[in-house]
Amino acid sequence: MNHWLIPGLVALVAALFAASLLIGPAAIGVGESLAALIRGEGEAVVLVMREIRLPRALLGVMVGASLGLAGAALQGFLRNPLAEPGLIGTSASAALGAVLALQTGFAAGFALALPAAALTGAVISVVLILLLAGPRGSSLVLILAGIAISALAGALISLVLNLSPNPFAANEIVFWMMGSLTDRSMDHVRAAAPFMLAGAAALWLTRRGLDAMTLGEDAAASMGIALTRLRLLLVIGTAALVGAATAVAGAIGFVGLVVPHILRPWVGAQPSRLLPASALGGAAMLLAADIAVRLIAPERDLKLGVLTAIVGAPLFLHLIWKTRRAGL
Amino acid sequence: MTLLSVENLTVSRAGQPVVGGIDLTVQPGEFVGLLGPNGAGKTTLLRAALGLLPFTGRSSLAALPGRERARAAAFLPQSREIAWPLSVEALVALGRVPYPGAARGLSGADREAVDRAISRMGLETFRHRPTTELSGGEQARALIARVLAQEAPLLLADEPTAGLDPAAQIATMRVFAAHAAAGGAVVASLHDLGLAVRHCTRLVLLDGGRLVADGAPAEVLTPGNLARTFGIRAHFAETGDGPVFQPLDML
């Protein structure tokens, strides 16, 4: 609808990406930073820029885009603005998979073990949600199913912590669960990228089907949309994106809820147009949140997932309030 | 050229046939009114004929691959679901989903089809309004326009006139009749027998999942059929203003 939306969001993401590269505890000038990043001038600065800030900014874009895209696709498919990877238990299930992998040592087994474990957890939760709430399920059933899955995954994570042999491991898992982009390396970028690309590709193929689903399943099927294929692409795509995002950044909630909600009016509410917009919007939101975390409390290591929840939860309450007034 | 051919179509639920042994062929030019009391199997028959339900028997539409079927027949479901506040134009443009390229924006032919559908349903003034802000009747018209924009020769409509005001009901029936007269065909399930009699070229009467009568309005809505399937008696007369049908009382 609005031709400036996508270019505007691209510019916003680019600006925030640059800001993310330039802001940090090490006071480095703009010129010096860029020289180090691009030409490799200055040994210590190169290390900071290429090994610390670049992966952090890249992961901000990747994780944010993944969460925004997954949220928009889930909402389009379930025809419910309350659907969100965090709320329906996908993030918690992915975290459970990752925690189990960390705890059992499976994660150290091979390079992609951690994302693969998180992805498995995410797949299980998305399949469970589709079985329990179904594409025709009401908001109520969807939220209840989400609560049940989140609670179960949370309880199992607690059990792992409970049985954890040493308090340091438990502590590490707890902090990891809160979601953060601090101290990530290019290895994390390399581990997450293939899953995220595959997930994004799968969801990209659903856009025509998601548009048709606006009119319900029967209408979509009568317009030649293969619903089984659509459902499969959606499960694989969402799980790959959320699983990979959770594996590298921990559980970061509400991005997939807030971003599509804000951008929907800008794309004429069309689910297909919402996908790229939400991916960019998610990247912008996560980069902004990650910069805010560094600016608000540089000494305290404020966790990213904590901040997104503090911002996102009131918006979620506002959405429920609106849904209630609409008489649903 | 037959637009729909259904042979011995049977749909079972929990071992019980809800629609049994239906034979039906629809030719170009026909506007078929699908009649029957609640639960007679009208919706089930339409959905099964499209292949949206598992069934036994044969349906020429269900045998086609998805996109080809979407170009052969458009379906207006009974539930008037619109999940997102799309503009009327964007909603009608969903009818172009079965045509390649729709994802990359609409082609010239797509735009023409959308414009035609919007003007046939008299929706020009609502074109850019979000559908969720329209009245129920206006939403129903926008959804019918979506079906027309699909430009399939056969239209299957499940209670297209329910909830419309009298003028919109007549306008809708005329749009369908014109579609049939132009060489297409329409099968519409209807509860308003008066409308069916005045606009349909052929009526098909279902009762308890069986096809009990099929033919011209006067052959189908006989006092005997009305009593057996609907449990009513009615006044049915040919007048200077065309056929008039008015239910009078329950039996």
Q: What's residue B102's pLDDT?
A: 47
Confidence of residue B175 (pLDDT cuts 50, 70, 90): very high
Q: What is the pLDDT of residue A131?
A: 84
Q: Return d(Cα A176, Cα A109) in angstroms, integer.
A: 19
Domains contained in chain A, number? 1
Domain ranges of chain B: 4-250
| CA pair distance B230, B217, nearest whole angstrom | 15
Query: How near does any CA of chain B get to the CA of A226, in Å?
Result: 7
- Residues A218, B52: C-beta atoms closer than 8 Å: yes
CB contact under 8 A, A214 and B91: yes
**pLDDT score, position A137:** 57
**Chain A touched by B100 (CB under 8 Å):** no
Tell me, yes or no, whether A27 lies in a domain: no
Closest CA to A181 of A21, A13, A313, A11: A21
B130, A269: Cβ pair inside 8 Å? yes
- B81 vs A219: CB contact, 8 Å cut-off? yes
Rounded CA-CA distance A197/A181 in Å is: 19
Pairing of strands B56-59, B4-13: antiparallel
Note the pLDDT tens digit of each residue in B118-171: 999 999 999 999 998 898 889 999 999 999 999 999 999 999 999 889 999 999
| Interchain CB contact of A273 with B (< 8 Å) | no
- Given CB atoms, is A214 within the 8 Å cutoff of chain B? yes
For residue B87, pLDDT beyond 80? yes
CATH number assigned to the domain comprising residue A100? 1.10.3470.10
- B96 part of contact set with chain A, CB < 8 Å: no
Q: How far apart are CA A85 and CA A103, in angstroms?
A: 24
CB contact under 8 A, A270 and B150: no
- Residue B172 contacts residue B161 (beta carbons within 8 Å): yes
In Å, how far from its chain's centre is CA B179?
12
Model pLDDT, residue A136: 56
| DSSP-derived 3-state class of residue B174 | helix
| Interchain contact, A79 vs B98, CB within 8 Å | no
Residue B141, Cα to own-chain centre: how many angstroms? 13
Percent of chain A with pLDDT over 70: 96
Q: Label the pairing between strands B232-239 and B242-250.
A: antiparallel
What is the interface pTM, i.e. ipTM, of the complex? 0.91
Render pLDDT for B22-64 as a digit per residue (tens, 0 to 9): 999 999 999 999 999 998 999 999 999 999 989 999 999 999 9
Q: In what order do the strands lie in the sheet with B56-59?
A: B16-26, B4-13, B56-59
Identity at B168, one-letter amino acid code:
A
Q: Is the pLDDT of residue B100 over 80?
A: no
Judged by DSSP in three states, B8 sits in: strand
Q: Minimal CA–CA distance to B223: which of B211, B236, B213?
A: B236
Q: Note the helical H segments in chain B.
A: 42-49, 66-72, 88-93, 108-120, 136-149, 166-181, 193-199, 217-220, 223-225
- Chain A, residues 60-89, CB within 8 A of chain B, namely 79
Res. B233: pLDDT tops 80: yes
Nearest to B97 among A79, A208, A269 (CB): A208
Q: Write down the pTM of the prediction.
A: 0.89
Decide if pLDDT at B193 tops 60.
yes
Domain that holds residue A84: 55-325
Beta bridge partners of B213: B205
What pLDDT sits at residue A87? 72
Q: Measured between alpha carbons, how far is B177 from B29 in angstroms, rounded to an integer? A: 9
Query: What does the block give as tokens for A82?
Result: 């309350």
Selecting from A207, A214, A225 the residue whose C-beta is nearest the C-beta of B83 gives: A214
**pLDDT on residue A52:** 84
Residue with tokens 């969807």: A142
The better pLDDT of the pair A324, B3 is held by B3
Q: What pLDDT, on a 0 to 100 scale, did the predictor assign at position B49? A: 96
> Which of A74, A142, A223 would best serve as a mutation to test chain B binding (most B beta carbons within 10 A)?
A223
Residue A141 sits at the chain B interface (C-beta within 8 Å): no
Residue A5 lies in a domain: no
Q: Phi/psi at B10 (nearest 5 deg)?
A: -130, 130
Per-residue pLDDT of chain A (328 residues; tens, 9 = 90+): 578 899 999 999 999 999 998 887 777 777 777 777 777 777 778 877 888 889 999 999 999 999 999 999 999 988 888 788 877 788 889 999 988 888 887 777 776 787 788 888 988 988 888 888 765 556 577 778 888 898 999 899 989 888 887 788 788 788 878 888 888 888 889 889 999 999 999 999 999 999 999 998 899 999 999 888 888 888 889 888 998 999 889 888 889 988 998 899 899 999 999 999 999 999 999 999 999 988 888 778 788 988 988 888 888 788 778 777 765 4
Q: Residue A319 and residue A317: Cα distance in Å, rounded?
A: 5
Nearest C-alpha in A relative to B85: A269
Query: Measured between CA atoms, how close is B239 to chain A, in angstroms?
Result: 39
Distances (CA, A) of B48 to B6, B45, B155, B174: 10, 5, 15, 26
CB A189 within 8 A of CB A55: yes
Count of CB atoms situated within 10 Å of the CB of B180: 25
Residue B155, classed as helix, strand or coil, is: strand
A158 close contact with B: CB closer than 8 A:
no
Least Cα separation, residue A325 to chain B (angstroms): 15
Q: Is the pLDDT of residue B176 over 80?
A: yes
The DSSP call for residue A107 is: G
Q: Decide yes or no: CATH 3.40.50.300 for domain B4-250.
A: yes
Q: Which amino acid is at B86?
A: L
